[in-house]
Amino acid sequence: MRYFIPVALFAVLVVLLALGIHQAPRKDLVPSPLIGKPAPSFSLPSLSDPSAQVTTAALRGHWYLFNVWGTWCVSCHIEEPELLAIARTGRVPLIGLDWKDSRRQAIAYLQAKGNPYQQIAFDPGGLEAIHWGVYGAPETFLVNPQGIIVYKYIGPITPRAWVRDFLPRLPAAHAVSGS
């Protein structure tokens, strides 16, 4: 009984340290304060056609995935087949933000690997990505028809993440195309 307090304190310390150890590797996943907030509005030149603009205003009324990528980003190359698979399901259109990239390289990359995106905004200077709180690529935001960011996924989307994290947040298959 005399040792109750020290043992209890030790137990508390063990729990705290165990939590710390399990939390620590996820330090790379910083929760976004933008969840539940309106997506930043922008008007950026399109990657494929510099005279055309990609605007958030035109995306209103539809669910979309906003995927930040670049040809320099190795994890984006890993993610690419899954993005193509998502595009094939037709559940939700992909809008790309080509981040700090070269237009020529990006177009060549998409021609070689296939283009999962409905539209791609071109952000060579990287200032638009800051508005979205982006700190690495790939990052993917799920935006609802009201223009609210519902979810943010950091890192390459895996088939498992698509099923576990994205599908449950999307409306039933037949409801997506309408608004």
Interface residues with other proteins (CB under 8 A) are 2, 27-28, 30-34, 100, 125-127, 129-133, 135-136
Nearer to other proteins among residue 133 and residue 156 (C-beta): 133
Supply the minimum distance, in Å, between the C-beta of residue 81 and other proteins: 26
CB of 88 to other proteins, least distance (A): 32
CB of 148 to other proteins, least distance (A): 15
Q: Which is nearer to other proteins, 45 or 136 (CB)?
A: 136
Handedness of CA 62, 136, 156, 109 (dihedral sign): positive
Q: How far is CA 44 from the centre of its chain?
A: 18
- Cα(51)–Cα(53) distance, integer angstroms: 7
Is residue 110 within 8 A of residue 61, CB to CB? The reply is no
Q: Both tokens of residue 82?
A: 């899954």
Question: Which of residues 33 and 178 has its CB atom nearest to other proteins in the complex?
Answer: 33
Find the helix or strand (DSSP H, E) in which 133 lies. Answer: none
Identify which of residues 35 and 170 has a Cβ nearer to other proteins in the complex: 35
